[in-house]
């Protein structure tokens, strides 16, 4: 007889396993470019969701601080693998756009939808403002690490000729800040996501959670390879730019599924949890995933190393978006109008990349 916990494990893993199987079959059968791309994108999103579920389940067994570290380490595995394979394939523009798109899809699109859902049902949402202010500060630091090297290159400053060395310096600084943040989490016994988001009626056994996480990590590596392999032909067939495909398609496929939990929390009136879930996802990409990819790109080689000198429009979009998010969240209050403004800004930026 299957227990309740076993049923939960099966429900969380059966569908991702099926999607991965379909993506594998289409990849090795060399199906059409669009079909292959859609299958691998759906499989990638489902694996990301399963990784998020398994990581959440660890929160029932580990300390809050340890759970936060695990979340930071494995929560962005699918996107990390996609970016590594894309760098090896020489798709630098896709990587740059997807990383900034991941930050903005959380900070603008998902947060905006959360405010719309919560504001529609409950009017004004009130949340603790200290954590959003801290996250906004760290996001502004990450923005500076992108904007300043870009300005140095665009203004033809002497430092612009040393973009690779400057990228390594900025990456080390961001990782140092991330380590300080991790140390603060351990010292204060806090973590990235509040405890309440991980409450489960039927907790998985620890071995099952670790096993699912390990299997999904391996699956993410294979699916990411298939996804990038199908990305180039799909871009040509659809006639969209590399910037748009990275900013919207790759960013959403990599991590938006698991982050939609924030929208549900906001609709339930749990504004503190919703804001924490969503903004911390953006923060992890900015101060952990970006600098790791900078350093990894120099190790794996490829057509071009990943530096922080991005196209000016990407830097400007990120800078303005973080400012808007800071203004919206700094007072600890938001409503449906704030949500509509955030979603609208995301659509405007996406439209710019559509015609890039």
Task: Please tell me the predicted confidence (pLDDT) of residue 201.
Answer: 46
Task: Please tell me the predicted confidence (pLDDT) of residue 344.
Answer: 93
Distance between first and last Cα of the chain:
56
pLDDT digits (tens, 9 = 90+) for 196-239: 544 544 567 777 878 888 888 888 888 888 888 888 888 888 77
Q: Collapsing DSSP states into helix, strand and coil, what is residue 245?
A: helix
Task: Please tell me the predicted confidence (pLDDT) of residue 191.
Answer: 46
Q: Which residues pair with 333 in a beta bridge?
A: 126
- Return all residues near 185 (Cβ < 8 A) that are at least 6 apart: 65, 68, 69, 191, 192
Task: Please tell me the predicted confidence (pLDDT) of residue 342.
Answer: 93
pLDDT along the chain (356 residues), means of 10: 60 82 88 84 82 72 59 70 83 85 88 88 78 80 83 79 82 86 65 49 72 83 86 82 82 67 77 79 85 84 72 86 87 87 92 82
Q: Which residues pair with 126 in a beta bridge?
A: 333
Looking at the chain, list the stretches that DSSP marks H as alpha helix, in order from N- to C-terminal side. Answer: 4-28, 33-58, 64-74, 77-88, 92-104, 111-122, 130-154, 163-188, 206-238, 242-244, 251-259, 261-267, 271-284, 290-300, 312-329, 336-354
Q: Which residues pair with 125 in a beta bridge?
A: 334
pLDDT digits (tens, 9 = 90+) for 244-264: 888 888 887 766 555 666 787
Determine whether 33 is exposed, middle or buried from the number of CB atoms within 10 Å of its CB (0-12, 13-18, 19+).
middle
pTM value > 0.95: no
- The residue whose two tokens read 């990120």 is 318
d(CA 140, CA 146): 10
| Token pair listed for 155 | 């203004």
| Token pair listed for 195 | 């405890």
The residue among 52, 325, 70 whose CA lies nearest residue 192 is 70
| Token pair listed for 185 | 């989490």
d(CA 160, CA 162): 5
Give the rounded distance of the alpha carbon of 56 from its chain centre.
Answer: 16
The residue among 36, 41, 12 whose CA lies nearest residue 25 is 36
């Amino acid at each position: 007889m299957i227990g309740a916990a076993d049923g939960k494990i099966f429900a969380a893993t059966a569908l991702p396993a099926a999607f991965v199987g379909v993506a594998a079959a289409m990849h090795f059968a060399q199906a059409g470019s669009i079909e292959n791309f859609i299958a691998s994108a759906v499989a990638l999103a489902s694996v990301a969701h399963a990784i998020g579920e398994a990581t959440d389940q660890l929160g029932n067994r580990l300390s809050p601080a340890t759970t936060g570290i695990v979340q930071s380490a494995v929560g962005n595995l699918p996107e990390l693998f996609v970016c590594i394979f894309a760098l090896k394939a020489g798709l630098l523009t896709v990587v740059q756009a997807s990383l900034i798109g991941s930050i903005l899809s959380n900070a603008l699109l998902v947060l905006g939808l959360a405010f719309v859902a919560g504001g529609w049902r409950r009017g004004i949402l009130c949340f603790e403002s200290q954590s959003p202010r801290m996250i906004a500060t760290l996001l502004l630091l990450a923005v500076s690490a992108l904007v300043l090297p870009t300005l140095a290159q665009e203004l033809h400053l002497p430092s612009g000729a040393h973009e690779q060395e400057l990228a390594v310096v900025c990456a080390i600084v961001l990782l140092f800040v991330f380590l300080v943040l991790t140390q603060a989490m351990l010292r204060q016994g806090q973590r990235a996501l509040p405890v309440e988001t991980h409450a489960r009626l039927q907790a998985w056994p620890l071995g099952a959670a670790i096993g699912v996480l390990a299997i999904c990590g391996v699956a993410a590596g294979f699916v990411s390879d298939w996804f990038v392999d199908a990305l180039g032909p799909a871009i040509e067939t659809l006639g969209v730019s590399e910037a748009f495909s990275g900013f919207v398609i790759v960013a959403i496929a990599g991590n938006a599924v698991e982050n939609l939990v924030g929208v549900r929390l906001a609709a339930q009136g749990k504004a503190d949890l919703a804001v924490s879930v969503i903004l911390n996802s953006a923060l992890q990409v900015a101060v952990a995933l970006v600098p790791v990819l900078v350093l990894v790109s120099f190790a794996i080689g490829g057509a071009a190393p990943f530096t922080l000198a991005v196209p000016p429009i990407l830097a400007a979009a990120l800078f303005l978006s973080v400012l808007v998010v800071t203004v919206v969240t700094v007072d600890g209050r938001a409503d449906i109008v704030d949500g509509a403004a955030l979603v609208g800004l995301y659509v405007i930026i996406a439209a710019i990349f559509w015609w890039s």
